[in-house]
Structure 1
Amino acid sequence: MSTAAPRTAGPDHLWSVDEHLDDILATVRPLEPIELQLLDAQGCVLVEDVMVPVSLPPFDNSSMDGYAVRVADVAGASEQYPAALEVVGDLAAGQADLLQVGPGQAVRIMTGAPLPPGAETVVPVEWTDGGLGEGPVTGMRARSLAPEGATGQVLVYRPAEARAHVRARGSDVRAGDRALEAGTVLGPPQISLLAAVGRGTVRVHPRPRVVVLSTGSELVQPDEKLSAGQIYDSNSFSLTACARDAGAIAYRVGAVADDADTLRDTIEDQLVRADLVVTTGGVSVGAYDVVREALSSVGDEDEPGGGIDFRKLAMQPGKPQGFGSIGPDHTPLLALPGNPVSSYVSFELFARPAIRTLMGLADVHRPRTRATLTAGGALSSPKGRRQFLRGRYADGEVTTVGGAGSHLVAALAQANALIVVPEDVESVAPGADVEVILLG
């Protein structure tokens, strides 16, 4: 199970933002670790340190196409007085039979091939005549003109220091080193390292599966024709994208009409693929607020410790909220308000940290900073509520975007930050220092 029982309070209790968030984070638990193939583990969080079983690279190898030689044999070499060496064979990457390099000898070597016994350095092909006896050539010319497997003589026109152009065994990581530590999020570079040290599977917290659904008989899918009184369903698309951005595997469910039984059945059907359910709309006290009607008693009798607690928060936008757990596995559910800006802000403040807690991350919050408010007149904020205004942040300054209305989607699309106005502040003048939550 991923949750403990949430707290409850009286119906008249006005929850602070911090109280509600603390309750969510105290309730939600990281998902149980599983063993996954590397590519399936992308985006997941390691639950244990990964040690290096074999050094990387596992042997000394050439970082250039050229010739493996002894340092003394090319000392003092120049274009006027080149060193003439006998080419005793070729070495390609992956070749197991190593040729011995003796005095006055060279082995033509390709990038990634192991340094042969007796060789002390690698001379790039550009410093030689490519085995053609015609003076220095480019690597392209050497590769195109020198016959495959050719032996004979090569002229070297520059000296090379010991170990030049040689990748030393263990120069990246050594056997017994810690490659990655527990808590690391596996992105492409980390997947690459795990594969390079021979790990085909890894133990991680899986990415949480988040089901997102919106409610409202007025909602119509994009690309369909609007009738009178209808609007397009944007919330389910917005929050599904938010869940994916947070690191989840997100499933969007089509909008559910204002019918409590239909909504309850839909949510129950989705629990089989949900580690978290997020609904939007229907959480207030109106006659058609079906989420509250459908879920306010779910789990109270059949699932001890379950059920959804609907709350009022001292915040704007997003005053009505619901949180709890449903179903036999006590799947956590967050019921967010239906206005687009309210649902987005609520997701960022509450659902995103819940998702990242399920992932097993240590830091689940968006970064915050301080900024100077730069444009427009004074900002007003309702007393006793923490207000979150959309803003555009750059270089230590932030300006508001759009008004305070919770329906202004176009303004939200231009914002990259939320400006936080504390509960005890009713006005903020231009030039004031404000707290900013950075988005994206």
Structure 2
Amino acid sequence: MIVALSCAWQASSRWDGSTQRPSGVGWRPSRPVDCNRFSKNRRSWPARQSEQQRLAVIGESATSSDDSDSAAQRLLQLSQQCDSQVAGYRRQLTAEERLARIEMLLQQGVTEETVQHMIERSKGGPYMQDKLQQRWVQTHYGLSKKAVASLAKSMVYNRGVCALLTYSQDTITARLSGLQRLFELSDAEVNKLNPYLAHLLEYDPERHIRRRWDLYQSLLGEFDPADKRRFITSPVSLQIPGLTIRDVFRGVEQLMGSTAAAQDLLLRSPKSFGSGIERLATNLRSLQQLYCCSSQQAQKVLVRNPLLNAYMLEAPKFQCRVAALTEWYGHASPAAMLLAPNCGPRLWASMWKLGARMAFIRRLRLERAEPDLNTSNLANSTEQFCRAVEVSEEECAAFEQRWLVSPEAAELCRHEGPPRVTVIEPAGAEPEL
């Protein structure tokens, strides 16, 4: 299990030694590669005559290939161009090596966009260990599609995950085994948590991670399984310097008024160690000044809904959500709404979703003559929401599409970003709300 998973992490990651930000997500066409120019520039890799011939053959064959081959050819050209700009400090890959690695990644489900980012941020490549190609088929043992997708996303945006491709197989296996021992994880738990563990594999488990793990438990008390999982799934908290961890704990202790309250908050919200004292202080102040909470109520809100600790509660977007939910559920005050059981999922749901479902329920009330029709599943999955109001998912989706382009949606969601669903412009009149 350990060997198979460690191969997977290497295959699903990329190397990135630069500090350059990733470019836009769209494909940027590359200029055709002029192989002759390399021999005229002493700072660039001198292309051999045989290499030029191979590139010519590859270029001719790509024009008649399918979409995958065309993508591989475009990425090959980009790889060569990037390498020509930084040549001289590492062994260059041949065209066959580049193309083989690009095709391997594309065939195993890594998107063209992701491979493009790998090439751009590593200034060439994609660079990975030569033995990886032969082991790729074995790397999917025990890994779900969701886990692979999560790692693919991480290797675009996270330098630490990208760097895994520069480590030897033995190093990755040893570190993965060390994390399993440190966190006392079963093979099944390692498999399930692998997207998060991948963020920690650039560190030595005993020299770096154990210090923080022991420090957290000395400050917060012994972890139960749920506490342990929260910290593992917040890997940034295990990379913060020990001095910062202590400072944040002391600051939270002061703000919350007691050690027990600080422990309760931080055990439920490891991300608070990364957010810092300023964010917590601002949120506590916002809860009192903007949402009618007492000091004790403000603390209770954040303990009950720890995900809110990382939010900007003073932002107009969040104020709009609180106002809409307070009115919708008939609470006496924003404080009462924020302290209501299970209100968390609704608080971090977009108004695009909340507003559409509120409008849909209003229509159902009129049609069914049920003025009290309501549901606590307002922000739940589409399946759960539709089951609660007894409608088909198709009917709900059709209404949502019409509502998203209505004046009501534009007003209610003016502080939100764009909707996360595809908006289909209606051909007819305004929606019936």
| TM-score, L = length of structure 2 | 0.26
Q: Which has the larger radius of gyration?
A: 1
Richer in helix (by share): 2
